[in-house]
């Protein structure tokens, strides 16, 4: 995605797509990459989505995607990880995060057993709230919330360029020693969470909040 390249893949074993959850769906940029890529060999597709809580009715989106791409949909597996969507939520403390990672490791191993046996993942129960979250809420989220307009750097910034390098959409550049955001943000939160000096803020909400990366 960062290199703006479409993919061409060949695999004799099932394809396994692993991604974060953005507003109870797979990220739009990831769906776009899959749609624009070419896949040879196996026609089976598994999806593993990490999330801060749950994935809603992401299954519906993925079934449609697989149908369009000619894949046999083998299911989606939910792996709960520490929350790091700093634009709206607080990250957990270190002890809580560590416990979540232990559970996530087990969930990933459980998912791997299904994949090795080429068995479908178990269905996740979906309610009305899940359908709304992955439907209209996702649409509203992308239309009104996903924007880089509220990002800014404080005087803590040391112009190291880590935010520039971590931006998957190449949406950040350094100008006069400070990061400047463009219009292609997908709200991955890499810039704010990887900043070594906590110099990046998102409006007023992120001020004083703990950042989280998997290296914690």
Could you state, in order of their start, the residue ranges of all structural domains in the chain? 10-144, 151-202
Burial (0-12, 13-18, 19+ Cβ within 10 Å), 90:
middle
pLDDT of residue 4: 64
Residue 86 DSSP class: T
Same fold, 10-144 and 151-202: no
- The predicted-structure confidence for 88-123, as pLDDT tens digits, reads as follows 888 999 999 999 999 999 999 999 999 999 999 999
pLDDT of residue 216: 47
Q: What is the distance between the alpha carbons of residues 23 and 5, in angstroms, rounded to a whole number?
A: 25
Helix (H, G, I), strand (E, B) or coil at 8: strand
pLDDT of residue 3: 72
Mean pLDDT score, 1-12: 83
Q: Which CATH architecture has domain 10-144?
A: 3-Layer(aba) Sandwich (3.40)
Mean pLDDT score, 182-206: 96
Mean pLDDT score, 141-148: 94
Residue 165 DSSP class: H
- The predicted-structure confidence for 18-55, as pLDDT tens digits, reads as follows 999 999 999 999 999 999 999 999 999 999 999 999 99
- The predicted-structure confidence for 60-96, as pLDDT tens digits, reads as follows 999 999 999 999 999 999 999 999 999 888 899 999 9
pLDDT of residue 88: 86
Helix (H, G, I), strand (E, B) or coil at 153: strand
- Fold classification of 151-202 is Alpha-Beta Plaits (3.30.70)
pLDDT of residue 57: 97
> 42: Cβ–Cβ under 8 A, 6 or more apart, which residues?
11, 12, 13, 14, 15
């Amino acid at each position: 995605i960062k290199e703006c390249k479409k993919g061409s893949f060949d695999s004799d074993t099932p394809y396994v797509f692993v991604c974060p959850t953005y507003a109870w769906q797979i990220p739009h940029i990831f769906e776009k990459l899959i749609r624009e890529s070419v896949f040879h060999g196996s026609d089976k597709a598994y999806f593993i989505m990490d999330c801060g809580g749950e994935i809603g009715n992401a299954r519906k989106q993925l079934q449609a995607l697989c149908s369009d791409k000619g894949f046999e949909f083998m299911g989606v597996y939910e792996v709960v990880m520490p929350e790091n969507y700093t634009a709206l939520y607080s990250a957990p403390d270190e002890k809580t995060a560590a416990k979540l990672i232990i559970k996530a490791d087990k969930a990933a191993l459980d998912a791997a057993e299904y994949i090795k046996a080429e068995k479908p993942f178990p269905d996740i129960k979906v309610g009305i709230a899940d359908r709304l979250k992955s439907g209209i809420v996702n649409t509203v989220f992308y239309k009104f919330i996903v924007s880089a307009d509220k990002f800014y750097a404080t005087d803590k910034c040391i112009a190291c360029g880590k935010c520039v390098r971590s931006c998957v959409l190449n949406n950040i550049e350094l100008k006069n020693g400070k990061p400047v955001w463009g219009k292609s943000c997908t709200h991955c939160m890499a810039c704010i969470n990887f900043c070594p000096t906590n110099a990046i803020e998102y409006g007023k909400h992120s001020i004083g909040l703990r950042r989280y990366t998997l290296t914690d």
